Chains A and B, each alone.
Chain A
């Protein structure tokens, strides 16, 4: 059950777009379309932003989008805003009927 691989940090200026990658294996990301992305502000509970690779829950801004290619999933945030500064985590369902998270990516809005 190795954690999915995410970059430790990314940054971007307001109104720009950024992409966070999440790399796994054929036993998790590559094998299923059950990738989720979560946003977590300091001291707060995680918030679901994307599920099933590319679907947004009700109430989540359409500036957030997800995709997958092979064993790598990606989260793109367009039109960066100050409030997007947070930690972002990917997760995937696995062949062991478990979940696995990525190590997290700290997004800084410059």
Chain B
């Protein structure tokens, strides 16, 4: 089955860190750019970050730049998002999504993993 499944979310104190994972299966992971998109409770979608298919090129939303790091392991078919200096406003469901060419063709999404920043 073609799918991506996120994991690694949880309750973390503000200022803390965690690493999200996105396991891909059923398709050639190394052919696709990948994105992280988050959705705060009751809010809309917000683009967070993206990485090129070979992992050499990445971009971030201004609100997470310097705190979040996107990476991937094509041998393990897995995408990662390292989150540091967590803030209350980072509380959201984090989705990973694949993109064939890197221009916004997000045709496969995971159900997401919930990150909650709270003391």
Contact = CB atoms under 8 A, between A and B. Distances in A.
Interface of A: 1, 3, 32, 34-36, 38, 40, 44-48, 51-52, 57, 87, 89, 91-93, 96-104
B1 interface: no
Contact of B105 (A52, A101, A103): A52
B104 A34 contact: yes
A36 B106 CA distance: 8
Interface residues of B, number: 22
Contacts, number: 67
Contact of B50 (A89, A92, A98, A104): A98
B32 interface: no
Interface of B: 35, 37, 44-47, 50, 59-62, 95, 97, 103-107, 109-112
Given A99-B47, A100-B47, A102-B44, A46 B107 contact: no
Contact of B44 (A32, A47, A89, A96): A89
B104 A104 contact: no
Contacts of B45: 38, 40, 46, 89, 91, 101, 104
16 contacts: A1-B61, A3-B44, A36-B106, A45-B109, A46-B106, A89-B45, A91-B104, A92-B104, A96-B59, A98-B61, A99-B47, A99-B104, A100-B47, A101-B44, A101-B46, A103-B44
B24 to A, nearest CB: 14
A89 to B, nearest CB: 5
A45 B104 contact: no
Given A45-B95, A91-B47, A34 B107 contact: no
Nearest to B49: A98
Contacts of A89: 44-45
A48 B61 contact: no
Contact of B59 (A97, A102, A104): A97
A52 B61 CA distance: 22
Contacts of A38: 45, 106
